[in-house]
């Protein structure tokens, strides 16, 4: 009786110790995922900002089944963020926090499954390794839909495993063995939900049929017991995703990212296996070999492997142990999970490996934990508990060193890197903070390298608290947008300075220069008091005497460089589709040598911005593009530049866009004149806006003053 009580007390003590260790690990994990969350990462990537924008759209009544922002993506994470924003506010901080509970739940779900499939020691060791790993830490602080996938899938696996191997299925009377059908049902729901999170989920369901095949070969009694409910669960999960797949079928261009990544698969289908083998080899090397890891800067230190040297050895040993124990269902399932989880990166290669292989995150750290626990137990059996304690302490030291290394790499090496700060748009964040701290309202023009709606403006919108500013976006290196208001402010970062065309124009007074870190790739931004009308008037003086013709023949016969407006057979301004007016242009290179560069500035006034509006500001389908074509005397296209550096999504009526075009002529030109043709087309279908004169269509372009070709003769 005494021995029984002692054993019971020992088990109770062990349970309390396990609980204490579990709580400590989760506390450490929580601290690591919340510490400095407002500054590391220092802002938002464009993908993260897209999630925030879509979550706000959901709060405003949109109910997407698939999102078009960011090359297309599944919407479930956006609905989750929308729920958090409904409680905490539509802020960057809430968006950033959204990944924290998902990361912690992933840790707990992985622990729960490992404890079921293996034992307490392996589960705690695996949890500890995962909680302090760079991969898990980074994922737990990324506001990306990929952070939702591992918790859903791991929880599905946990319910499935409990249904197959839980205590209530181990009745000795096989005829009366009761299956937990409701657990299969929960697994089905989670499999279906995972399909609405991230593209790799589309291969994860394969894990369950693969495991059934294994059971059919090795554990036939279990196979007969679980085959039907497993297949039904998988089928139900896939059926839940039918609306998503129907949408994608009806919108074949929606998944732009998938189309960008299917090159290796196409090569494989064509019989060329080499590209896939090369990428698979590099992805596997990314687990262990420095310099071969994920090279996507936004989410990791480029080339950093998943494991350091010691943990890498334990990982390989753990893989070997699992292979040796392949007859044990947990070992076989773990190996299959690892392979299926990393399969997307085996095709696409190491770039963004840690994101595309996110489903493998919960299982990867099992293998070094398995090796460590097995090694400790082997030592205890061979040399006793004292030596085993020494080995255990040594392994704990390895864990601590690995954790400290990961924390230093994440918060210092990666988090403080100028490249990381640039990737997370720190300049935009600090610009928003600057404007929030000022009382002035009104119109603000912002120059940036990526002014289109899905990019920098979304980051800025989530970072700016005030809503009383009228913003205009453009890249001043090639365009300037003049609002109709008499007074405004202009913000110019070091990364997007004004073109020489605009640099010396009047109407700009430097108010202050805001310096950031001297080693930043974008170390400062300048704030100007701006009188747009004065600046525009100066630029319009440069366009006086613009000659515009309706045909190539008329343009070729017009006088050159005389300012003789009478030579124009189309009066300015020129009406393009009642949406834009061509006000004039400044041909800054009236004479160009063969191979030289043509440079001109064209002024366009916005008449009806609604023509270019869409329900989704991130869609480029309705965006216009300004084109300038260079033609020889026969009308043959010899050079061109099509661009828009002041995107139309935020245009207002009477805004004026000054667009700079620069392009090189061919090195051999036999004719003395090169004609210039300009117009506007829609990006989606290349349809051109008509040129209207007295409400009559006279064409879809106009011709400017030709360029004279200067030769040595």
Q: Can you spell out the DSSP letters for 4-26?
A: HHHHHHHHHHHHHHHHHHHHHHH
For residue 263, the model assigns a pLDDT of 63
Q: What is the per-residue pLDDT for 620?
A: 64
**What integer pLDDT is reported at residue 358 of this predicted model?**
94
Q: What is the pLDDT at residue 173?
A: 44
- What CA dihedral angle connects 533, 539, 541 and 546, to 10 degrees? -120
CA distance 593 to 601: 19
Q: What would the DSSP string read from start to end of 588-643?
A: S-SEE-TT-EEEEEEEEEES-GGGG--SSTT--TT-EEEEEEEE-TT--EEEEEEE
pLDDT value of residue 69? 77
| pLDDT, mean of each 10-residue run, the chain (713 residues) | 54 79 95 95 94 95 88 93 97 96 97 96 96 96 96 97 78 48 94 96 96 96 94 97 94 70 64 71 84 88 93 95 96 96 81 89 97 93 89 89 94 95 94 95 95 90 94 96 95 94 91 94 94 96 90 68 54 95 95 93 96 70 90 90 93 96 90 92 91 92 92 63
Q: Supply 343's token pair.
A: 């399969």
Place of tokens 């106009």: 702
pLDDT of 13:
66
Quote helix, strand, coil % in the chain, to nearest 5: 50, 15, 30
| Spatial contact of 68 and 618, defined as CB atoms under 8 Å apart | yes
DSSP sequence for 80-122: HHHHHHHHH-SSHHHHHHTHHHHHHHHHHHHHHHHHHHS-HHH
CATH placement of domain 543-709 = 2.60.40.770
Q: What is the pLDDT of residue 564?
A: 43
Per residue in 181-197, is it b (16+ CB within 10 Å) or e — as a string?
A: eebbbbbbbbbbbbbbb
pTM, 2 dp: 0.90
HEC sequence for 638-681: EEEEEECCCCHHHCCCCCEEEEEEEEECCCCCCCCEEEEEEEEE
What residue ranges do the domains of the chain occupy? 2-419, 425-533, 543-709
Note the pLDDT of residue 619. 63
């Amino acid at each position: 009786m005494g021995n029984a009580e002692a054993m019971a007390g020992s088990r109770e003590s062990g349970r309390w110790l396990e609980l204490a260790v579990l709580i400590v690990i989760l506390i450490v994990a929580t601290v690591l995922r919340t510490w400095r969350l407002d500054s590391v990462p220092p802002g938002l990537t464009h993908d993260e900002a897209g999630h925030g924008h879509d979550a706000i759209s959901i709060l405003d009544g949109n109910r997407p089944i698939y999102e078009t922002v960011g090359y297309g993506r599944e919407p479930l994470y956006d609905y989750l963020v929308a729920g958090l924003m409904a409680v905490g506010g539509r802020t960057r901080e809430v968006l950033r926090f959204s990944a924290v509970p998902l990361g912690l739940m992933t840790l707990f779900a992985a622990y729960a499954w490992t404890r079921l499939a293996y034992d307490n020691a392996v589960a705690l060791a695996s949890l500890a390794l995962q909680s302090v790993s760079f991969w898990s830490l980074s994922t737990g602080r990324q506001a990306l839909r990929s952070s939702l996938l591992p918790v859903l899938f791991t929880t599905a696996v946990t319910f499935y495993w409990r249904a197959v191997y839980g205590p209530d299925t181990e009745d000795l009377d096989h005829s009366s063995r009761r299956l937990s059908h409701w657990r299969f049902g929960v697994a089905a729901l989670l499999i279906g939900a995972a399909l609405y999170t991230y593209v790799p989920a589309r291969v994860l369901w394969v894990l369950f049929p693969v495991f059934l095949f294994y059971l059919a070969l090795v554990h036939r009694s279990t196979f007969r017991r679980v085959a039907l409910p497993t297949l039904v669960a998988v089928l139900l999960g896939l059926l839940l995703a039918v609306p998503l797949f129907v949408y994608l079928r009806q919108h074949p261009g929606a998944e732009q990212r998938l189309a960008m990544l299917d090159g290796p698969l196409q090569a494989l289908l064509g019989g060329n296996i080499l590209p896939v083998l090369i990428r698979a080899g590099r992805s596997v090397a990314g687990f262990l070999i420095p310099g071969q890891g994920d090279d996507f800067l936004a989410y990791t230190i480029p080339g950093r492997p998943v494991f350091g040297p010691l943990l890498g050895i334990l990982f390989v040993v753990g893989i070997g142990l699992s292979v040796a124990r392949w007859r044990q269902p947990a070992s076989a399932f773990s190996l299959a999970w690892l392979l299926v989880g990393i399969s997307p990166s085996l095709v696409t290669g190491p770039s963004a490996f840690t994101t595309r292989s996110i489903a493998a995150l919960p299982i990867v750290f099992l293998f070094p934990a398995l090796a460590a626990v097995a090694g400790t137990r082997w030592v205890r059996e061979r040399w006793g508990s004292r030596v085993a304690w020494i080995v255990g302490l040594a392994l704990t030291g390895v864990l601590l060193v690995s954790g400290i290394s990961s924390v230093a790499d994440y918060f210092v090496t990666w988090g403080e890197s100028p490249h990381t700060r640039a990737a997370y748009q720190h300049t935009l964040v600090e610009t928003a903070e600057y404007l929030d701290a000022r009382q002035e309202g009104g119109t603000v023009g912002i120059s940036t390298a990526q002014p289109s709606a899905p990019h920098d403006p979304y980051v800025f919108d989530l970072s700016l608290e005030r809503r009383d500013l009228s913003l205009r976006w453009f890249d001043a290196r090639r365009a300037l947008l003049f609002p109709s208001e008499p007074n405004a402010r202009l913000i110019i970062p070091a990364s997007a300075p004004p073109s020489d065309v605009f640099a010396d124009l009047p109407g700009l007074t430097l108010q202050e220069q805001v310096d950031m870190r001297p080693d930043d790739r974008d170390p400062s931004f300048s704030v100007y008091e701006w009188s747009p009308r004065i600046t525009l008037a100066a630029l319009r003086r440069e366009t006086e005497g613009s000659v515009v013709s309706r045909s190539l023949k008329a343009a070729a016969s017009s006088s050159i460089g005389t300012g003789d407006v009478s030579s124009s057979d189309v009066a300015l301004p020129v009406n393009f589709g009642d949406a834009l007016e061509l006000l004039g242009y400044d041909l800054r290179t009236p004479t160009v040598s063969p191979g030289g560069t043509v440079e001109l500035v064209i002024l366009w006034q916005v008449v009806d911005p609604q023509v270019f509006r869409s329900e989704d500001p991130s869609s480029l389908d309705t965006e216009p593009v300004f084109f300038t074509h260079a033609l020889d005397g026969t009308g043959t296209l010899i050079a061109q530049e099509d661009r828009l550096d002041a995107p139309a999504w935020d245009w207002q009526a009477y805004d004026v866009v000054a667009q700079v075009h620069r392009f090189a002529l061919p090195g051999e030109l036999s004719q003395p004149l090169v004609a210039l043709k300009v117009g506007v087309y829609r990006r989606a279908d290349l349809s051109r806006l008509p040129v209207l004169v007295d409400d009559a269509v006279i064409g879809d372009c106009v011709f400017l003053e030709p360029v004279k070709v200067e030769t040595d003769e």
